[in-house]
Amino acid sequence: MGCPAKKVCRKLAGSALMKDEKLVEEILTAVVAAVEVPVTLKIRTGWDPEHRNGPLIARIAEDVGVQSLAVHGRTRACRYKGDAEYETIARIKESLSIPVFANGDLTTPEKSLEVLRLTNADGLMIGRGAQGRPWIFRELKLFLQNDNKKPSLDKTELRDIMLDHLDDLHHFYGQKRGVRVARKHLTWYCDNLANADEFRYRAVRVDSASEQLNLIREYFDRDDGGVSLAA
């Protein structure tokens, strides 16, 4: 119940469900009764800034047996605009006994730890902050261990992360679809790489998995010292 996409909400799905609290209760009750595995839920803080009913939806979820809750710090109307707010997440966490995970704008280890402090959440759900930067989890782990020094990521390791990721995408989706899906991931990686404009331009235009992988190897084989993480 967190997706704000118009094509989803037009069908009264995703975060649009938060407008109908009775239907939310009926759906969650049915799902919890139908399965033996733990049921978890993701929501937003409400439908719009004037209707932040996230705390009520959260209470309904716990009462019918949902085992944990993730909360994105925006309403459906806010989509991904503006800054996420964490006060509502903190209110939800304070009112529930099940685990609550904070979500929204968790783009750095520093910001993530600050959100943990502000919300007192049991954990974090990191989505867009990991796009093109999956090593953010390793960085966060070190910060949680009170080591504020970001882990080094050398050129070879960065290359291998990208190669392994794209290879997994190609195998999971199949060659044709995998290449298309990989394009957006390559774009996200390039957002975090210095001097990657030419590489980006070429990598999102090739049509085969082998070409995508070869372009990554070529980019990292450059000997001009131009390959590095963007500041």
Cα(104)–Cα(113) distance, integer angstroms: 13
168 touches 138 (CB < 8 A): no
193 touches 162 (CB < 8 A): no
Burial class (CB in 10 A: 0-12, 13-18, 19+), 34: exposed
Cα(194)–Cα(168) distance, integer angstroms: 24
DSSP summary character for residue 102: E
Cα(121)–Cα(101) distance, integer angstroms: 6
Q: In the annotation, is 78 catalytic?
A: no
Cα(6)–Cα(4) distance, integer angstroms: 6
Cα(55)–Cα(5) distance, integer angstroms: 22
Q: Which of 3, 9, 78, 190 is catalytic?
A: 3
Looking at this protein, which amino acid is placed at residue 227? V
Residues tagged active-site = 3
